[in-house]
Amino acid sequence: MPIPIVDSHIHLFPESHLPTLAWHNPSGPLSSQHSIDEYRLATSSVPTSQSPGPESDIPHAQPQPQPQSLYLRGFIFLETDRISSIEEESESGWTNALDEVSLLTRIISNNPVPGEGHTNVDGQLCLAMVPWAPVPGGPALLERFLALVKERTLTDATFKKVRGFRYLVQDKQRGVMLQSGFVDGLKWLGQRNLVFDLGVDARQGGLWQLREAAEMMRMVYRGVEGRKGERVVIVINHLCKPNLRLPFSSPDSIATHPDFLEWSSLVTAMAQHPTTYMKLSGAFSEFPPLTAEDGPDVASLVEQLRLWTDVVFDAFGPERVMFGSDWPVCNVGGGGNAVAWGRWRSIVEGILEKRGLTREQKEGVWGGVAVKAYGIEL
């Protein structure tokens, strides 16, 4: 039987929403619409059904070859870093983040708006959404924000797809994660069975971000682990964005490097908490960029990643590692929309083979772990 893929990390934004994105630059590589139309093209190397064939009533679906080892069951949407602020009444406020929830509501409910790049059959692909939330504001602000999210989702069925929140800390100043509001906010999310997605950046932001994240986790989990009714789930994005641009001549050249050693130590510290998870994603943003024309040496890239991914699998175990594409960000370093998603899938296949995982463990990494971590109902 083919293995279902749950892509645990994608972003969607129509062209009309570009001005609301904090990172938007009119000349930037992602400054165009990236919605489900483009995502379907990016993922066309795998079917969207385990039994592809006559069901090609799906618009813009490509004819699929008979049976394949993997098929795309769906994705988890992650917030796209909208212009926003912790305080609702400030100039940027919560409007853009809530408008993003409305966009996802239209997708999930199969209620497309012309020009947004999705159709009335695309809702089946969105298994969960993880919007932005003012986490540093603490429980009181989070409760107010959650009520507004519920209003925007319109129905209980759509609101159930809200499985967690993210407040991106990779571009924030030191100390944010250690604030009492932030720590209490994560505990509040845990009490409501909502996941927190953690985005830190070891390469560009600095290893201090991982040090602070590890300390934040100690503060969050202190007195919570093992307590009945309290379960804080933290899903760490993109391997913590390690420095994959360190000069690679052999595994030893990486294994003895101070950056690798500290990254390894901190990732291992994060993994000691049993309800933390890691996304196997984001590497194309850290590698030197690939071109569309030259197919990558997948075996070589797997070997370059192997020391890093071995640390992750050793620390978390395959039971807490999940596949994510980081689409469309993966396009920038991965060679473009036509090839990047498929290239990353091939690299992950190679990593899992090199690791010697069983079929059951592979099924977990490709989708089962994400379903468990986020509490997704399939």
Quickly count: other Cβ atoms within 10 Å of residue 86's Cβ: 18
Three-state DSSP at 323 gives strand
pLDDT for 31 equals 94
Q: Which helix (H) or strand (E) holds 244?
A: none
Higher pLDDT, 240 or 52: 240
- In this prediction, residues 268-287 reach a mean pLDDT of 97
- In this prediction, residues 286-314 reach a mean pLDDT of 94
Q: How far apart are CA 373 and CA 357, in angstroms?
A: 20
Q: What would the pLDDT profile of 68-108 be if each residue is shown by its tens digit?
A: 499 999 999 999 999 999 999 888 899 999 999 999 999 99
Q: What would the pLDDT profile of 110-156 be if each residue is shown by its tens digit?
A: 999 999 999 999 999 999 999 999 999 999 999 999 999 999 999 99
Is residue 63 over pLDDT 90?
Answer: no
pLDDT for 311 equals 98
Q: What would the pLDDT profile of 166-203 be if each residue is shown by its tens digit?
A: 999 999 999 999 999 999 999 999 999 999 999 999 99
Quickly count: other Cβ atoms within 10 Å of residue 284's Cβ: 27
Is residue 50 over pLDDT 80?
Answer: no
Higher pLDDT, 60 or 233: 233
Q: In sequence order, which residues have a C-beta less than 8 Å from that of residue 31 and are 6 or more positions away?
A: 18, 24, 25
Q: φ and ψ at 266, to 5 degrees?
A: -75, -40
Q: How far apart are CA 45 and CA 276, in angstroms?
A: 31
pLDDT for 92 equals 87
Instruction: Provide the mean pLDDT of the chain.
Output: 93
Percent of the chain with pLDDT over 70: 93
Per CATH, the number for 3-374 is 3.20.20.140
pLDDT for 56 equals 39
DSSP conformational letter for 168:
-
Q: What would the pLDDT profile of 243-267 be if each residue is shown by its tens digit?
A: 999 998 888 999 999 999 999 999 9
pLDDT for 226 equals 64
Q: How far apart are CA 335 and CA 295, in angstroms?
A: 9
Measured at the CA of 319, the angle between CA 317 and CA 325, to 5 degrees, comes to 95
Q: Which helix (H) or strand (E) holds 305?
A: helix 298-316
